[in-house]
């Protein structure tokens, strides 16, 4: 018997839940689409979705369960909720940045944040960042923070150089 994940993030889309689930599962390894449910005639006066329209999609991204709902245009995504993608190296960071910004907005965000083509906010960050920000060298950590604030996509080498004393222009 499968264990039920205690907390599952739920995305609210206008009508792109299935498209988004396919998009996200194409980006992350160890990902899959699970059950899909559809609206019926019941409740039309509330949900206003034609019978047969996809209502919800369950999916996994790198083993983490998610759900997506086609709930209509009532709510929109904003930066108050984001998903963090922890990356071991620059190649991995570049991969996720490029995939998640495809068709999205990579220019209005800073500090490793981006909005994908659905308006969902993501933070693509190196796993070394907390160590650099909380290192024993307080001045180095401050230089890293200053460097992060100037970057859109994070550059691991530049962050390490900032910690070691090279100040970014």
**What is the H or E stretch that residue 39 is in?**
none
Q: What are the CA-CA distances from residue 164 to residues 14, 73, 147, 148 (Å)?
A: 47, 48, 12, 14
For 10-70, which CATH class? alpha beta
pLDDT value, residue 43: 87
pTM for the whole structure? 0.90
What is the sign of the dihedral through the CA atoms of 152, 154, 155 and 159? Answer: positive
Residues 60 and 66: beta-carbon distance below 8 Å = yes
The ranges assigned to domains in the chain are 10-70, 82-163
For each of the chain's 169 residues, which pLDDT tens digit applies?
A: 456 789 999 999 999 999 999 999 999 999 999 999 999 999 888 889 999 999 999 999 999 999 999 999 999 999 899 999 999 999 999 999 999 999 987 677 889 999 999 999 999 999 999 999 998 999 999 999 999 999 999 999 999 999 999 765 5
Strand duo 54-61 + 64-70: pairing: antiparallel
Residue where the block lists tokens 């981006």 = 114
CATH superfamily ID and name for 82-163: 2,3-Dihydroxybiphenyl 1,2-Dioxygenase, domain 1 (3.10.180.10)
């Amino acid at each position: 018997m499968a264990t039920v994940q205690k907390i599952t993030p739920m995305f609210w889309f206008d009508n792109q839940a299935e498209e988004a689930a396919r998009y996200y599962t194409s980006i992350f390894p160890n990902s899959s689409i699970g059950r899909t449910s559809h609206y019926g005639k019941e409740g039309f006066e509330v949900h206003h979705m034609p019978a047969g329209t996809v209502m919800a999609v369950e999916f996994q991204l790198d083993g983490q369960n998610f759900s997506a709902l086609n709930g209509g245009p009532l709510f929109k995504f904003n930066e108050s909720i984001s998903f963090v993608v922890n990356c071991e190296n620059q190649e991995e960071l570049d991969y996720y940045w490029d995939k998640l910004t495809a068709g999205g907005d990579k220019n209005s965000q800073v500090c490793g944040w981006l909005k994908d083509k659905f308006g969902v906010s993501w933070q693509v960050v190196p796993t070394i960042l907390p160590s650099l920000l909380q290192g024993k060298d307080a001045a180095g950590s401050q230089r890293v923070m200053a460097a992060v604030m100037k970057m859109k996509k994070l550059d691991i080498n530049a962050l390490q150089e900032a910690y070691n004393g090279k100040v970014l222009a």
